[in-house]
Amino acid sequence: MITRNPSLTEQVKAHLKERIVGGDFEAGRIPSETELATDLGVSRTTIRDALSRLEHEGSIYRKQGAGTFVNEPGLQIKSRLEEIWSYEEVLRDHGYTPSVRVGEIQTEPAGDQLAAELKLEPGEPLVVFEKLFLENDLPVVLTTNRIPKRLVSVHIKAADGKKPLYELLEDHCGRFLSYYLSDIVPVALGNHESGQLAVARRTPSISFEEVGFDQDNEPVVKATSLFRDDLLRFRLIRRKAGA
């Protein structure tokens, strides 16, 4: 039962999360850290690590001197903006069973801005393709991915585009996606985008404009994503800095 990977902390976190959503805790009160530690046979530090993660993602809150409690409003959050890793997962979290349509895989030279963002020489070729995520033929997310061609060691075919982006980068570039730096930009959808998303032209939308970095902190992809706000809405918890 006690194994490495996932870590003890992760196991404890998952265990507690299950009991929280299962309503195991009377009146929203979670047992004290010492009690949990002895019950689960781990150190208080491990318990505290797990609780800290649950607190950070909004599932619980803690009051010094008082106790630890279930956070009902925080439990409502389906997809936390800071933890989006693939849009398929997001859609599944919303109860959808998404399908993916991949556009033509093209090669384009990088403009000045893209080159700077991806640490390339201007004009270096990029592999570019669109992905459309649908729920029951209803488009929800439209993303455009741009990968520097010189990172691609295994040729990308149309079918490969269906993989989650992090998987594609591992299989075809040998890079492991570590994090995204994202700008959140308001836009009015143009002709092409509104057509793909099946909404009126100039519909307001959020655009995520982001650069993905690999394990060595090298930029590996520039992605732009547009959303159907009526089908997918993002939430987020904001706290005081340093808490």
Partner DNA sequence: CAGTGGTCTAGACCACTTT
Partner DNA sequence: AAGTGGTCTAGACCACTGA
Q: For binding to DNA (CB under 7 A), which residues are involved? A: 4, 7-9, 30-35, 41-46, 48-49, 51, 62-68
Contact between 232 and a copy of itself per CB under 8 A: no
H or E, element range at 73: helix 72-75
Using CB under 8 A, count the residues that bind a copy of itself.
Answer: 50
Q: Which is nearer to DNA, 155 or 240 (CB)?
A: 240
For residue 186, list its beta bridge partners. 206
Q: Which is nearer to a copy of itself, 52 or 103 (CB)?
A: 52
Closest by CA to 108, choosing from 93, 91, 92, 120, is 120
Cβ 2 to DNA shortest distance, Å = 8
Closest by CA to 69, choosing from 77, 59, 79, 78, is 59
Contact between 108 and a copy of itself per CB under 8 A: no
Contact between 106 and a copy of itself per CB under 8 A: no
As to burial, measured by CB atoms within 10 angstroms (0-12 exposed, 13-18 middle, 19+ buried), residue 182 is middle
Q: Which is nearer to DNA, 52 or 99 (CB)?
A: 52
Contact between 193 and a copy of itself per CB under 8 A: no
- Give the whole-angstrom CA distance, residue 88 versus residue 85: 9
Closest by CA to 12, choosing from 29, 24, 33, 23, is 33
Contact between 120 and a copy of itself per CB under 8 A: no
- Give the whole-angstrom CA distance, residue 234 versus residue 83: 11
Cβ 219 to DNA shortest distance, Å = 18
Residue by residue, DSSP assigns 69-91 as EE-HHHHT-SSBGGG---HHHHH
Contact between 88 and a copy of itself per CB under 8 A: no
Task: Read off the tokens for 199.
Answer: 């909404």
Closest by CA to 188, choosing from 169, 210, 205, is 205
Site for a copy of itself in 28-87 (CB under 8 A): 53, 58, 61, 63, 69, 71, 73-74, 77, 80-85
Q: Which is nearer to a copy of itself, 105 or 206 (CB)?
A: 206
Cβ 34 to DNA shortest distance, Å = 6
Closest by CA to 129, choosing from 110, 144, 116, 118, is 144
Q: What are the backbone angles phi and psi of residue 102, rounded to the nearest 5°? A: -110, 130
Q: Which is nearer to DNA, 37 or 147 (CB)?
A: 37
Point out which residues bind a copy of itself (CB under 8 A). 10, 13, 53, 58, 61, 63, 69, 71, 73-74, 77, 80-85, 178-188, 202, 204-206, 210-211, 213, 215-217, 219, 229, 233-242
